[in-house]
Chain A
Amino acid sequence: MKGTAAHIVRTLLLSLITLLGVSVLIFLMLRVLPGDPARVLAGLNASAEQVARIRADLGLDEPLLSQYWQFLSGVLTGDLGESARTSRPVSDEIAVRLPATLILAVVATIIGTIAGITAGVVAAVRRNSVVDHVISSVAMMGVSMPVYWLGLLLILLFAVTLGWLPAAGSGEPLSIVLPAVTLAAFSTALISRMTRASMLEVLGQDYVRTAEAKGAPPTTVIIRHGLRNAFIPILTVISLQFGALLGGAVLTETVFGWPGIGRLLVDSIGARDFAVVQGIVLVYAAAFILLNVIVDVLYVVIDPRIRY
């Protein structure tokens, strides 16, 4: 466990360099993007003088290096700047939107994990049966179906036709059901396929046969001997999926009018709101790094043989 702690400290220190790299990249990418933030902000009817004044207000007329330094020193003191579009602090903008995305990603991951592992285990245990084929086909559909299309179909069925669930927004407790299920479709499919493959490999091992031979009940064999040993690659897929959900929920958030951070990012890119885009990307990067550290620890918990 000592080695693990050292590993985590090392990872976190290295991640500072990663974050610095991310900050440089996003800063430069925004500045080579065509489109003048001051013009977008000033509106189509603004005069050249107004645009020039806004450019000066935003500090966009200063040299790149000095702009970057201001951004970086701001970040170090916990100040991500102010949104050009709404004049609100970037940290407030993110604080309002991030929880909605996190909740959606967590719920979708829980659904995806439970459903995916269950389906994967069943498919592996009853391999080549009808059940297995049905699960595989459904999983194939889940992986290939565009989120956008699935979301609209679910809205049509559950909100318009049946009238059971809210079509959009996050104002009611049941609001999360449709976006979470939509978002979970892909993860469920992916996790079930990974579980099936990984389980099949493990179930063929000698120790599983031994366990069966000494008379352990089938559930014990499957879960204790099978799933636990098959779990490392599944966990990797789950964590990667969770990361993807954090950043990739934009379409789902748009279809369901879910007030998450993905939509804010897209709106901000469209408005060339540099400070907000930089802030969100940094938060994403930090979240990914944190997620990796957590998963590293979980590996050790699940498989004590793993040492760092």
Chain B
Amino acid sequence: MNTTRARRRTPRIRSVAAVAAVGLLISACSVSDPEAPASDEGDGGDATFSIAVGIDPDTFDPAGQTTTTVQNMVDYMVETLVTVDEEGEVSGKLAESFETSDDGLTVTLGLQQDVVFHDGTTFDAEDVVFNLERITDPNLTVPLGSPFDVIDTVTAVDESTVEVGLTRPSPGFLSALSVTTAGMVSPESITADGNTNDNYQRPVGTGPYTYGDYTAGESVTVEKFADYWGEEPYYDTVVFRIVPEAATRESLLLAGQVDMIILPPVSDIESLQSNDDVEVLLAESDRTIFIALDFQDPLLSNKEVRQALNYAVDKEAIVDNVLFGAAEVLDAPMAPSLFGYCETGSYDYDPDKARQMLAEAGAEGATLDLLTPSGRYVQDAQAAEAIAGYLREVGLEVNVTTSDFPSFLSRVNAPHTENTVDMHLLGWAPAYLDADFQMQMFRQATHPPAGLATSFYTNPQVEELLAQADVETDPDTREQLYCDASQVIWDDAPWIFLWTQSFPIVHSTDVTGIGSTPTEKFDAINARPAN
């Protein structure tokens, strides 16, 4: 009797297995996106270019951009009026000419003709007016909108000429127009296809690719735009795969399942460099990494002490051993790619000198707290630990605390109190390549909570120089003013000056035409097969 029952069970177990198998199949299909093209596994038949990135897009609205990774995707679809090259020089894009009046208060833009948006409408001066007014609308959240606060009026003079009136001369303004935030979208598209002004998810621009598809947490697909006005790109489809884990991105590339990745594990850069199948680009970035010192702290308000801390840390050794070479030690309070940079100085590693200076300042054996975010910048917490080690070497007590970024930010972006942390590791990447933006870190007007000048540094001489630079329209004079200000800041040492981190891009040697811009972006729109 038992036997029969047992036999009766067998088919039931089989059917359970069958149901499970079918379920598995259905499930696999329902997650997969039938429209997402499979990556070309090296045979290049379907002309798809795939890039693995780490961040899931929060918004495709150019005005809502915060991270360069997402801006990079938007840049395929939406174009800006101008671009900025590696030396910080502005050149035309949708605006083929641009001119600033002698008083610096009017910028005249001559627009490219015969440009159409993806929805078929023609791009003209009215569209520029619409977009610039949109990003200065106080009711819209524009995270990178501060450079556009100087816009007073925007006027369409004729179909292809726009005049922008500024409230004050703003030498960095043209450069700011190159930021994705100021990208040109079709005014009609703001309310089309489920878009709204506050929730603009399907961008319609003039770029070489149109919005294709977005699967949350998985991928973004863009398709070639047939009526693109500029140089036609090679690939029909570009897929951005969203892969948060650096080691997995590296595996995807090595397995030939994507053509290019950004930000591999830094510890693997060396082995990737010696791999013949891939090419590593250590792109220059404008992001300065530094330890901000609390300028109003009784101990750290002493310049000798701040300089001693700079001498105490072996920046070169940390770059080599902790960042695996993926950084350049700073020689100015800003990255070399900014307009207004000049080589300012160096604090060469000298522990004896540091000890002596600390002794003279009566700061021997002092206790300092060091706060660092974890996972925000390349090897941030690890670098902070190494720095603490060097500071202990010269006799200081250092307590390192790590924190997730929002908590970190709430701590350092608060008005000064006696609880303000003594030292914290921070990175700052100007949205456009001009010293104007970097100098926010050294001005009283941007002390927290108004801005992120988190060392609470101020020096009347610097304020004076920067106030002049703000309204100076002659580029050479302006550059000199920033150089002079840099000199004072370097000597005052409100930071332990560390490095500009590199932005590593790795791609298969089967593809070529891949570059970078110094704002931590890749430039792969014109990628093509290597042979």
A and B part of one assembly: yes
Binding site for B on A (CB under 8 A): 33-37, 39-48, 50-51, 53-54, 57, 85-88, 93, 96-97, 99-100, 103, 106-107, 110, 152, 155-156, 159-160, 163, 166-176, 211, 216-217, 219-220, 223-224, 254-260, 263-264, 267, 270-272
**Additional 17 contacts, C-beta under 8 A, given A36-B410, A103-B28, A263-B56:** A33-B407, A41-B143, A43-B66, A50-B141, A54-B141, A86-B58, A107-B27, A163-B255, A166-B257, A168-B248, A169-B219, A171-B218, A173-B32, A217-B6, A220-B3, A255-B248, A259-B242
With known contacts A216-B2, A254-B244, A256-B248, A39–B32 Cβ distance under 8 A:
no
- A278 shortest CB reach to chain B, Å: 16
Residues of A within 8 A of B217 (CB): 97, 100, 257-260, 263-264
Across the interface, which residues of A come within 8 angstroms of B56, CB to CB? 263, 267
Assembly CA distance A171 to B32 (angstroms): 4
Segment from B17-25, B301-309, B487-495, B497-505 that makes contact with A? B17-25
Which residue from chain B places its CB closest to the CB of A57 in the assembled complex?
A: B141
Instruction: From A48, A224, A258, give the contact of B449 (CB < 8 A).
Output: A48
| A152 CA to B144 CA, complexed, in Å | 37
Nearest B residue to A225 via CB reads: B2
Q: Smallest distance from the beta carbon of A140 to chain B beta carbons, Å?
A: 26
Which residues from B are CB-within-8-Å of A175?
A: 28, 31-32
Q: With A and B bound together, what is the CA distance between A254 and B404 in angstroms?
A: 17
Residues of A within 8 A of B431 (CB): 45
Q: Does B460 contact A (CB under 8 A)?
A: no
Contact A103 B406 (CB under 8 A): no
A-facing mask of B469-506, CB < 8 A → 1, else 0? Answer: 00000000000000000000000000000000000000
When distances are taken between beta carbons in the complex, the residues of chain B under 8 Å from A42 are 141, 143
Interface residue? B138 (CB, 8 A): yes
Asked if B512 is at the interface (CB within 8 A of a chain A CB), the reply is: no
**Distance in Å from the Cβ of B309 to the closest Cβ of chain A?**
24
Is the pair B198, A87 in contact by a Cβ cutoff of 8 Å?
yes
| In the complex, per-residue mask of B415-436: 1 if CB is within 8 Å of any chain A CB, else 0 | 0000000000000100100000
Question: Nearest-CB distance from B393 to chain A (Å)?
Answer: 32
- State in angstroms the CA–CA spacing of A41 and B144 once bound together: 11
B27 touches A106 (CB 8 A): yes
Contact of A259 among B218, B410, B411, B452 (CB under 8 A): B218
Q: Please list the residues of chain B having a beta carbon within 8 angstroms of any beta carbon in chain A.
A: 2-3, 5-6, 9, 20, 23-25, 27-33, 36, 38, 52, 56, 58-59, 66, 138-139, 141-146, 149, 198-199, 201, 215-219, 241-245, 247-249, 251-252, 254-257, 404-407, 409-411, 413, 428, 431, 440, 449-452
Report the bound CA distance from A234 to B452 in whole Å: 56
Q: A34-B411, A224-B6, A270-B405 are in contact. Are A96 and B216 (CB under 8 A)?
A: yes
Question: What residues on A are CB-neighbors of B145 within 8 Å?
Answer: 46, 50
Contact A40 B6, CB 8 Å, known A47-B450, A159-B257, A171-B218: no
> In whole angstroms, what is the CA distance A303 to B310 when docked?
73
Identify which of B2, B257, B452 contacts A224 (C-beta below 8 A): B2
A164's nearest neighbour on chain B, judged by CB, is B255
Of A156, A172, A267, which contacts B38 at CB under 8 A?
A: A172
Compute how far the CA of A274 lies from the CA of B373 in the bound complex, rounded to whole angstroms. 21
Residues of A within 8 A of B247 (CB): 152, 155, 255
Q: Are A172 and B143 neighbours in the complex by a CB distance under 8 Å?
A: no
5 closest pairs, A vs B, by CB? A35-B406, A259-B217, A43-B143, A257-B243, A103-B27
State A220–B24 Cα separation when bound (angstroms). Answer: 29
Contact yes or no, A223 B218, CB < 8 A: no
B335 CB to nearest A CB, Å: 16
Closest to B54 in A: A257
**Would you mind naming 19 contact pairs between A and B with Cβ atoms under 8 Å apart?**
A34-B406, A44-B428, A46-B145, A96-B215, A99-B27, A103-B31, A106-B23, A107-B24, A159-B252, A167-B252, A169-B219, A172-B38, A173-B28, A173-B29, A174-B28, A176-B24, A224-B2, A259-B242, A271-B406
- Interfacial chain B residues near A169, Cβ < 8 Å: 218-219, 241, 243
Q: Whole-angstrom distance between the alpha carbons of A35 and B405 in the complex? A: 8
Chain B contacts for A47, CB-based, 8 A: 146, 149, 450-451
The one of A45, A99, A163, A219 in contact with B31, judged by C-beta atoms closer than 8 angstroms, is A99
> Do the beta carbons of A270 and B31 come within 8 Å of each other?
no
Q: Could you say which residues of chain B place their CB within 8 Å of the CB of A96?
A: 215-216
Give chain A residues whose Cβ lies under 8 Å from the Cβ of B141. Answer: 41-42, 50, 53-54, 57
| Bound-state Cα–Cα, A166 to B24, Å | 17
* B251 CB contacts on chain A under 8 angstroms: 152, 155-156, 159-160, 167-168
